Amino acid sequence: MKKKGRGRTSRQRRRKSFRTSELSKESENHKQEFIELRKWLKKRKFEDHNLRPTRFSNTGRGLMAVKSLQPGELIISLPKECLLTTDTVIRSYLGDYITKWMPPISPLLALCAFLISEKHAGNKSPWKPYLDVLPKAYTCLVCLEPEVVRLLPRPLQMKAEEQRMQVQKLFISSRGFFSSLQSLFTEDVKHVFHYHAFLWAWCTINTRTVYMKHAQKQCLSAEPDVYALAPYLDLLNHSPRVWVEAAFNEETCCYEIRTTSHCKKFEELFICYGPHDNHRLLLEYGFVASNNPHSAVYIAIDSLVDHLPSVDKQMNKKISLLKEHGFSENLTFGWDGPSWKLLTALKLLCLGPEEFTCWKKVLLGEVISDTNEQKSLVLSRQICSYFIEETKTALHKGE
């Protein structure tokens, strides 16, 4: 059996490897903003000895394990006092205003209003140590300029535009409530609750909250109240290849995370936001994951039609049926080929005039004919090849 190298060359290799790994991360534990955050958390009965804020070359700011962590080990237990929820908002100076406002505002809007107000308060805010470590800006698609979004695949463009309209609609519909808060401020509330501030607050909640179900409050609308901002814990980055157990423990009154896998000392500790493809990650969180096992390529219904004969007189009816029954969106190619939904849509589009009356059976997953099966498979390969070549061309242009 060959022994592990102990000579000078082996030591040099190990030193080089160590230096390379050290260059890939830089501790942020000494930074004033994190010193203040730790003091703030300690007053709320939270201290951490497992993790350290660190900037990594490949993932940005995250948390590094300062000791080896074993599967099932409790890695973070954040007391309820540290969590920012609608309970926090209702107990605050905004509580009376929210309670009196009709119709009731949503839990999401209540949190947005609180974040904007506290951010505006600056040094006077008791949440300042947490607010100071939050991102100043976000890379979610809703924050990007339209000309940048137009560079994305068509299905993602459509989702981004839909999201942008939803956020703008929520902001416009909230102006009345924001105006009711005027007595809390010396300046015009329009200069406090402007769209840029609202977008920052919305992205903070959308990208950084953990799931925590709360009892419905009469002063809030019936929309699900499932948000909790978790200081320090929200520094954990996403990896699609790990899984953790995360939930609020009613017995300890803490939000707890346990790892289900081993994490080596001085390595970044990850959590999983869910089995999201890169389309969803970019839309909701503003990043993509490399080697994502959940990756998928979304195909617009128009792209399918472009590869079919234009002489099909029933094409408009086929497209109408697909849209009516929910088969016009989320059509994807994954690592294992076309999704069932994409293949089903192709089978309906490939139906011949004599087979068209069987469209319901197609949507139920039944086989209509060998010819229809073959046509849809051939078409899926053609569409896949087309997008591969189109992507190669786009990448070459970007070089």
Q: What is the pLDDT of residues 191-241, one digit of tens each?
A: 999 999 999 999 999 999 999 999 999 999 999 999 999 999 999 999 999
Mean pLDDT of 351-371: 95
pLDDT of residue 19: 44
Per-residue HEC secondary structure of the chain comes to CCCCCCCHHHHHHHHHHHHHHHHCEEECCCCHHHHHHHHHHHHCCCCCCCEEEEEECCCEEEEEECCCECCCCEEEEEEHHHCECHHHHHHCCCHHHHHHCCCCECHHHHHHHHHHHHHHHHHHCCCHHHHCCCCCCCCCHHHCCHHHHCCCCHHHHHHHHHHHHHHHHHHHHCHHHHHCCHHHCCCCHHHCCCHHHHHHHHHHHHHHEEECCCCCCCCECCCCCCEEECCCHHHCEECCCCCEEEEEECCCCEEEEEECCCECCCCECEECCCCCCHHHHHHHHCCCCCCCCCCEEECCHHHHHHCCCCCCCCHHHHHHHHHHCCCCCCCEEECCEECHHHHHHHHHHCCCCCCHHHHHHHHCCCCCCHHHHHHHHHHHHHHHHHHHHHHHHHHHHHC
Q: What is the pLDDT of residues 67-125, one digit of tens each?
A: 999 999 999 999 999 999 999 999 999 999 999 999 999 999 999 999 999 999 999 99
Q: What is the pLDDT of residues 25-41, one digit of tens each?
A: 999 999 999 999 999 99
Using the predicted structure, report yes or no on whether residue 358 has a pLDDT greater than 60.
yes
Q: What is the pLDDT of residues 282-331, one digit of tens each?
A: 999 999 998 999 999 999 998 898 998 878 889 999 999 999 999 999 99
pLDDT of residue 391: 84
Mean pLDDT of 155-181: 97
Share of the chain above pLDDT 90, in %: 85
pLDDT of residue 390: 87
Q: How confident is the model at residue 396 (pLDDT cuts 50, 70, 90)?
A: confident
Residues of the chain with CATH 3.90.1410.10: 84-229
CB atoms within 10 A of CB 382: 11
Q: How confident is the model at residue 151 (pLDDT cuts 50, 70, 90)?
A: confident
Mean pLDDT of 138-164: 93
- Record: fold of 84-229: set domain protein methyltransferase, domain 1 (3.90.1410)
Mean pLDDT of 351-374: 95
Structural contact between residues 125 and 35, judged by C-beta atoms closer than 8 angstroms: no
